[in-house]
Amino acid sequence: MAEPDQPSTARMIDFWLGGEHHFPVDVAAARAFEGAYGPCAVIFRSLRAFLGRAVRSIADAGVDSFLVFGAGVPTRGNVHEVAPEATVLYTDVDPVTIRLGQRILAGSDRAGYGFGDATDIGTIDPAQLHRFVPGWGRRPVGVIFLGLAAFLDDDTLSRTLDELYEVVAPGSFLAVDFDGEELAGHPRALAMMGPAFRMRPPTAFGPLLGRWEPTADGVVPVARWRPEGAPAAAPDACYGGVATKPAA
Ligand SMILES: C[S@@+](CC[C@H](N)C(=O)[O-])C[C@H]1O[C@@H](n2cnc3c(N)ncnc32)[C@H](O)[C@@H]1O
């Protein structure tokens, strides 16, 4: 794969997770961000561990297919690795990330990767959707929406989550996270996140979920969502939870 000349948040996260799918340009951007904020690996490892617990909880509820938005690099404890019996469609809008994901998943008959703009579900290739999310709209699905809400304004985010609620079958689940206000005290790091980045107070999360019903675990700092043992000692940078469209 040709070496990209711009960093990507997805590959920076792969670097922080100790993965193998990033380039010098990503490492330089990750180091610069750490210079402005502080160590990030602990935050992204805690977020990836949350993804694992959330996906397992959804699979334990009987869901056997997942649709992942803003998927980034599909390794390091990602969905098909923690739910190996399930089928998974990873989607993203970044062409370099999509090519990387397709290369990583080449040969898998259970997980695929394609274009998908989370704010317009119609952009997903229907053939891929029906192959990897069989019974789409008729059978419950796990929708994974992590690392994305922070880049969508309130109106776009609530419309998007409501449209997803409308199209998925009853009994479906949504795993979602929001960025809290951790970066408020780090203006240089905040500026590096770009103009679209949105921090939100926890009181904002519930209304944005609209009709999705959070489980009794709530939307909490990700390290404290159903921790297995003592929660990881990570800053409360990201809040997450699992919500449902109740079975009819
Ligand atoms: C911060 S990364 C998160 C990656 C991954 N979900 C994780 O948690 O490690 C955000 C990803 O969302 C993608 N993205 C940004 N806007 C998007 C949109 N409207 N629809 C789908 N993906 C989007 C970016 O290309 C990037 O790969």
Express as a percent the part of the chain with pLDDT over 90: 95
- In angstroms, the CA 146 to CA 66 distance is 13
Q: Is 72 in the pocket of ligand 1 (CB under 6 A)?
A: yes
Q: Is 114 in the pocket of ligand 1 (CB under 6 A)?
A: no
In this structure, the residue with its CA closest to atom 1 of ligand 1 is 147
Torsion-angle region of residue 18: left (phi > 0), alpha (psi -120 to 50) or beta?
left
pLDDT for res 1: 73
| Backbone φ, ψ for residue 213 (5° rounding) | -105, 110
pLDDT for res 55: 98
- Return the residue matching tokens 């898998």: 108
pLDDT for res 2: 78
The answer to whether residues 21 and 75 touch, using CB atoms and an 8 Å cutoff, is: yes
pLDDT for res 78: 97
pLDDT for res 3: 85
- In angstroms, the CA 109 to CA 92 distance is 19
Q: Is 10 in the pocket of ligand 1 (CB under 6 A)?
A: yes
pLDDT for res 232: 82
Residue-wise pLDDT tens digits, 55-82: 999 999 999 999 999 999 999 999 999 9
pLDDT for res 174: 98
Q: Is 234 in the pocket of ligand 1 (CB under 6 A)?
A: no
| Low-confidence residues of the chain: pLDDT under 70 | none
Global pTM value: 0.98
Q: Is 151 in the pocket of ligand 1 (CB under 6 A)?
A: yes
Which of 11, 148, 198 to mutate to test ligand 1, by most ligand atoms within 8 A of the CB atom? 148
Residue 43 Cα to ligand 1 middle (Å): 16
pLDDT for res 106: 97
pLDDT for res 248: 78
Residue-wise pLDDT tens digits, 136-153: 999 999 999 999 999 999
Residue 71 Cα to ligand 1 middle (Å): 6
Residue 248 Cα to ligand 1 middle (Å): 31
Average pLDDT, the chain: 97
Q: Is 42 in the pocket of ligand 1 (CB under 6 A)?
A: no
pLDDT for res 168: 98
